A and B are shown apart, each in its own frame.
Chain A
Amino acid sequence: MAEIRYLAPRTLDEAVGAFAAAQGAARILAGGTDLLVQMRNGLAKPGLIVDIKKIAEMTEIAELPDGGFRIGAAVSGAMLAEHPRFGQVWPGVLEAVNLIGSKQVQGRASPGGNLCNASPAGDSVPAMIAAGAVVTVQGPEGRRQMPVEAVPAGPGRTNLRPGEIVVGFTLPPRPAGSGDAYLRMIPRTEMDIAVVGLGVSLTLAGGTVTHARVGLGAVAPTVLLVEEAGNALLGSRLEEAALDAAAAACRAACRPINDKRGTIAYRTKVAGVLLKRAVAIAAQRAQGGN
Chain B
Amino acid sequence: MCGWRRQTDLTPSPLLRQETRLRREGARYAIIAPMITKRQLGYLFIAIGLLISAGAIGANLIGGRDAGFGPFQIIGIGAGVVIILMAIPLIKLGNRPA
* Same complex origin of A and B: no
